[in-house]
Structure 1
Amino acid sequence: MIYRILTSSESSSQELTWEEFRASLLDKGLVEKLIVVNKKEVRVQTRKLGDVSTNVTPSYYFSIASIDSFERRLDSAQESLGVPLNERIPVSYISEQSLMGYLMPVLPTLVLFGSIIWISKKFTSGGAGGGPGGMGGIFNIGKSKAKLFNQETDVNVKFKDVAGMEEAKEEIMEFVSFLKDPKRYERLGAKIPRGAVLSGPPGTGKTLIAKATAGEAGVPFLSVSGSEFVEMFVGVGASRVRDLFKTAREMSPSIIFIDEIDAIGKKRNEGGFSGGNDERESTLNQLLVEMDGFNTSDHVVVLAGTNLPDVLDPALLRPGRFDRHVSIDNPSVEGRKEIFMVHLKKITTNLDRSQLAGRLAALSPGFSGANIANTCNEAALIAAREDADSVITKHFEQAIERIIGGLERKSRVLNPEEKRTVAYHEAGHAICGWYFKYADPLLKVSIIPRGSGTLGYAQYLPPDVHLMSYKQLMDRMAMTLGGRTSEEMHFSSVTSGGSDDFKKVTQMATAMVTKYGMSAKLGTVSLSLGEDGYKKPFSEETAKIIDEEVKKIVDEAYLQCSNLLKEKKAEVALVAEELLKKEVITREDMIRLLGKRAFVERNDAFDKYLDNRDGPKTEGPVVNV
């Protein structure tokens, strides 16, 4: 577009050939002057013979191969016309360049300065940091991106809103207490801890408890993500760390929260290589100095969250920097009940919330706080989809099933043969879980396809245990093999439905041999793979023994499962036929078909929260909270 504008003046001239020029203009005596431009083009200046009223003079030009050839042809033409030497057409020579030609040498410089101005404005609009009145723009790239929270308007979360992590709250409350009244501790010679690392699985509430700290502390709270220290420019990360701590010291007492600190806090030069992470390492070094170096400052607390505490640099975790290591695990059944109580306050239901929270906590073993929040939200969505006036127990149970097993695939219709195979497969699991003492208690079995590849679904309620004995592991593996074993007993050919079961069993058996010291041949030694997953800390002969021991344990679990299912073959058929008829059977159906389970349930939640078969009772009219 620019080129067309700059060259549009040439489009008004008419191009001629030499023959046309001579016949139309030169021979008729209409040429007043010729101008040779850049030794390639000749412009013809004609006499004023155009439209006299508008004073428009036609413009012509033609191209030449060389000046010598042009001059010879012009002289020859004028001689043939008998033009005297003193009256011949004057010819001038000029060198000319277009505006684009003048711009091309300086265009890269203009583009560079334009890019710098654009980047500067981009950083300014993106909040690169720095207070008002500063230099602004790209010069603020080294400023911290931490967000300062206002306790009155930005953070409304308090410790009362954080449930299921009492130990973590006690640890963090000490920081809050110190910042509110430091003299209480200092008069006894105590110093404020520099910081705390909040670690645990995703969704357990690390960021939530940091928000609650901001809400309770009543002091300036600066929040930043670890990835915001990482930039393409060298030295920016360290500069932002310095600026962050400078701002915190000016506001002290204050709290800094660095989320996902593993982005900058990983072990330095891990694996023996250097040079690839110099920028990240310089950022980490600056953080180490700021937390416990010559520039240490009182009354500034640093909280950090991470899902990967094992990858953090030891210098970062030593006393004097992160003094406290707070581990936040998935909540126990009582913790889950407390978290459900928090989220149920926002749900419209006419059920007794306390009883409902206990039942849902029992039905959701292993759930994190994020899973629980999602469960309540999913239940409300299901109820709204059904145009229900309130959320009832059925909606919550469907939400839990969806989170555990995936969405029901009602459009995936199994043919009768597949459906029968799945029913006997799931019945094998159910019978093993019912008659093995240490198997997980059964709650529900379904042969409705779920998720992307699940054709059957069984919900068990494992107890919150931290130690597993050899017998408990064997019962669990035998129950896992129950589906494939049932297929072998009732059909002429087995299917691929047990692939995931085999994977779980192999992993458990391998852990028993290499981690738990449950192999008679190998004894109490740890034979796990190296941190990289490839380096074997044992010989090929030991590896062969490991393979033999794992196979031996799996065969023993298979034999245990096979003996039980042969003994209970009639019960397997009874449960399978009930599944084919109803598609979903519950614990109550199992009791009706097989009688009460012979063993005392190891999961207290059954006796405490699930004895009421009718579900939670109503607590009056529906109230919107």
Structure 2
Amino acid sequence: MSTQSSLDHHSSASVDDVDLEPDDTGGDPASPAPVRHTDLRSMINSAQRHSLRDLLVIPMLKQALGSALVRQLKRGDSTLALVIAVPSPAWVAPLSEALTRLAFQGLMIIGPSERLQRADEAARRAEEAAKALSKGVSVIGIAVTPSQELSKVLLGAADAVVTVPPPDATLANRAIRRFTRKGQAEALSARDLAGLDWPDFVAAFRRGSSRQEIARRLARAAAARSSVSFAENGPPLSALTGYGPALEWAQALVHEIDAMRAGHAPVAVLESALLAGPPGTGKTLLAQALAREAGLPLVTSSVAAWFSASDGHLGAVIREQANFFASLRANRPCVGFLDEIDALPSRLGLGGSRNADFWTPLITGVLLNVDQLRQACPDVIFLAATNHPERVDPALRRPGRLDRVFEIAPPDVAGLTGILRAHLRAELAGADLSSVAQLLLGRVGAAAVQVVHAARRRARLAGRALTLEDLLAEASPPEPRSLAELKACAIHEAGHAVVALALGRTLQGVSLQLAGASGGMTRIEHPGFIPTRSVIEDTVVIGLAGRAADIVLGSGASAGAVGDLAIATRELSALHASFGLGRTLLHRAEAEDASALVRLDGRFAQSIEADLRRLLDRAITIVTKHQSAVLAVAEWLLARRALSGAQVQALLETHSLSAAATYDVPAGAARTDSVDALDSGHEGIILPS
């Protein structure tokens, strides 16, 4: 079985034109001769359909079939079984009519059926195809999704599976020139045809219209297709920062597409991917940048859109789902983007749920549609996005459907600096944005963009140009905590940061920025993928170092370390119950579930408690040894609200181990002590990078 497809149907292609009388002006003097009709409207409609079939549908069919299959169909000297995938349901009828004109007499065309799941319908369709082929009659099955709408007998017997893409710019421009002599030709582009269906062409090609009028109707119709866009104004891939392997994959994919277009590489199935990460990390932006760089239309949808565009009943939602995948086929080659795919629950979690009968057909429909898309349309890049990858059905995450899974984490300082620079464009060209990025560390890229917008508004309301101080003010809004609370938070976070460096970890930064219930944050890089017991215990020591600093240098332990204690308990529970690094090799639970044993097993809880107290004592020892540096870091945090890892490292190296002096606030540093309201508690957070 052979499969014919094209990487880029928007580019110029050689078309085996229909035999029409040539015209020096490029027009079509050989429009179908008028037929006597009593009804003028019937005459016009009949002539219009006939003209469009000759000028548009037959050429696009010939282009997809290729010269060899066209010759076989015209001769009719051999029995053929063909399967043809069309862009949308509306194309089934015109392409079926074109096939009857193109092929030798005696051809049988079998259209799609929505009732193949019924045994009697499946048997009837199978017998229909089998009998025709056994009698020497060529059979062509035509459908949007042949695997779901055509008989398995015909699919298995098919000599070729052909995908007919919608008309490209070359075909459309040629059809317009031959449809009418009036007016100058306007060259339509891929953007002008994106998402157009057969009725759009029928409505645009009106008798008596000029070439410009037809072209403008098509362009307006394409612009009205809200699910299809061209991200021409989006950032290039080279301007994106903080995406890690996902960005490298996207850039390699663009190079692969360029090589295929240039004929330097064979046409292959383009990879798909699941983009996972917290809200605001730029998953949609990456899809837009990929489409822009590859010069492809972006077709977007979401599970929520399927529900909002329907009455919510199962059949209506499934139809909207099918329409999305039909739009991908209709606009190939393209980038398809399905947002918030975790709105479809995993079948693993449905179990005995009474909602399983509703969700299972929807999930299965996505799986089948993705399979069909990947097989029939290798030139479609399918992307999905989620904030919760663990909720996505495993059958959808596997290679062959979503080939890659990329975790897009909140960006580091360099990534945030790049995001700020990209959205500032030419503004503040010489300014050092790292101080702003430090204040935003731990927040997503969308937060950095919002800071730029808010800073511009601040400057605009003041009637002046944007300054670095505007960005700093928006990145660090007025502080609601009292000075005493800020000092407590600063000592707590300084303990985390200094102990992390003392234990050889790479510190990205530390800040006093409020984030929900958290009053500060210390961000360190993960030490590796396969931690040993010493690595895990060091991580716990760093987590307990904030409480140790509270005890040694602050006003004593407080409830602000609740998050640190939760992380430490979870790490130690996994060490003993999951990783086999404790007193036994017994695997009692998965790492994420191991801490539940603390509530269920008293002896296990006592063991974890003993480890926690031992490691807290170790943290207290390290903080005491480096208390001069901890106090210095705390003072600088009070002044600047955020410090980089390099700045903390410099302070640690500067202070002697025995010094316990309190350092003055650096000259020129601005202290923000404004208090609007009191806020209780503080929490040190360690976020592995």
Q: TM-score range by the shorter chain?
A: 0.5 to 0.7
Letter in 1 for 2:539: L
Task: Determine the C-alpha separation between the residues in 2 that align with 1:275 and 1:308.
Answer: 23
Which residue of the partner structure matches residue 476 of structure 1? 542
Task: Determine the C-alpha separation between the residues in 1 that align with 2:339 and 2:490.
Answer: 43
Q: Contact 2:574/2:595 (CA < 8 Å) preserved in 1?
A: no
**Which of 312, 315, 321 is the equivalent residue of 1:235?**
315
CA change 1:221–1:486 in 2 (3 A) is same
- 3-state SS of the aligned residue for 1:247? helix
Which residue of the partner structure matches residue 527 of structure 1? 589
CA change 1:374–1:367 in 2 (3 A) is same
The answer to whether the aligner puts 1:282 opposite 2:361 as a matched pair is yes
Number of corresponding residues = 433
TM-score of the two chains, using structure 1 as the length reference? 0.55
Task: Determine the C-alpha separation between the residues in 1 that align with 2:515 and 2:326.
Answer: 51
**Which of 273, 280, 291 is the equivalent residue of 1:203?**
280
Which residue of the partner structure matches residue 371 of structure 1? 447
Which residue of the partner structure matches residue 125 of structure 1? none
Q: Contact 1:428/1:572 (CA < 8 Å) preserved in 2?
A: no
CA change 1:207–1:425 in 2 (3 A) is closer
Superposition pairs of residues 28-39 of structure 1, within 5 angstroms:
none
Give 1:476 shift. 0.7
CA change 1:130–1:329 in 2 (3 A) is farther
Which residue of the partner structure matches residue 255 of structure 1? 335
Q: Contact 2:411/2:443 (CA < 8 Å) preserved in 1?
A: yes
RMSD: 5.0
Task: Determine the C-alpha separation between the residues in 1 that align with 2:649 and 2:368.
Answer: 65
Give 1:444 shift. 7.3
CA change 1:184–1:507 in 2 (3 A) is same
Unaligned stretches of 5+ residues in structure 2: 1-196, 204-223, 658-665, 670-689
Task: Determine the C-alpha separation between the residues in 1 that align with 2:354 and 2:447.
Answer: 41
Q: Contact 1:513/1:549 (CA < 8 Å) preserved in 2?
A: no
Task: Determine the C-alpha separation between the residues in 2 that align with 1:358 and 1:573.
Answer: 23
> 1:95-148: per-residue Cα shift (whole Å, max 9, x none)?
xxxxxxxxxxxxxxxxxxxxxxxxxxxxxxxxxx9966999xxxxxxxxx9834
Q: Contact 2:498/2:626 (CA < 8 Å) preserved in 1?
A: no
> 1:521-563: per-residue Cα shift (whole Å, max 9, x none)?
24584633787x9987x995xx334312321122113323444
CA change 1:505–1:385 in 2 (3 A) is farther
CA change 1:146–1:274 in 2 (3 A) is farther
Letter in 1 for 2:605: D
> 1:162-187: per-residue Cα shift (whole Å, max 9, x none)?
33336323433455566667566797
Unaligned stretches of 5+ residues in structure 1: 1-128, 136-144, 600-611, 616-625
> 1:289-333: per-residue Cα shift (whole Å, max 9, x none)?
233249942233322112222222233233333233344333344
- 3-state SS of the aligned residue for 1:223? strand
Task: Determine the C-alpha separation between the residues in 2 that align with 1:320 and 1:159.
Answer: 25
Q: Contact 2:439/2:476 (CA < 8 Å) preserved in 1?
A: no
The answer to whether the aligner puts 1:408 opposite 2:479 as a matched pair is yes
Which residue of the partner structure matches residue 559 of structure 1? 617
Letter in 1 for 2:546: T
Which residue of the partner structure matches residue 169 of structure 1? 247
Letter in 2 for 1:528: E
- 3-state SS of the aligned residue for 2:352? coil
> 1:8-31: per-residue Cα shift (whole Å, max 9, x none)?
xxxxxxxxxxxxxxxxxxxxxxxx
The answer to whether the aligner puts 1:330 opposite 2:410 as a matched pair is yes
Q: Contact 2:499/2:545 (CA < 8 Å) preserved in 1?
A: no
Task: Determine the C-alpha separation between the residues in 1 that align with 2:255 and 2:633.
Answer: 59
> 1:276-301: per-residue Cα shift (whole Å, max 9, x none)?
13333222322322332499422333
Task: Determine the C-alpha separation between the residues in 2 that align with 1:324 and 1:591.
Answer: 37
TM-score of the two chains, using structure 2 as the length reference? 0.51
CA change 1:460–1:383 in 2 (3 A) is farther
Q: Contact 1:365/1:463 (CA < 8 Å) preserved in 2?
A: no
CA change 1:247–1:378 in 2 (3 A) is closer
Give 1:212 shift. 1.6
Letter in 2 for 1:480: G
Instruction: Flag the structure with larger Rg.
Output: 1
> 1:242-300: per-residue Cα shift (whole Å, max 9, x none)?
23333333333233221112223x32263532551333322232232233249942233
- 3-state SS of the aligned residue for 1:197? strand
Give 1:389 shift. 4.2
Task: Determine the C-alpha separation between the residues in 2 that align with 1:277 and 1:169.
Answer: 37
Give 1:463 shift. 4.3
Superposition pairs of residues 572-587 of structure 1, within 5 angstroms:
none
Which residue of the partner structure matches residue 81 of structure 2? none
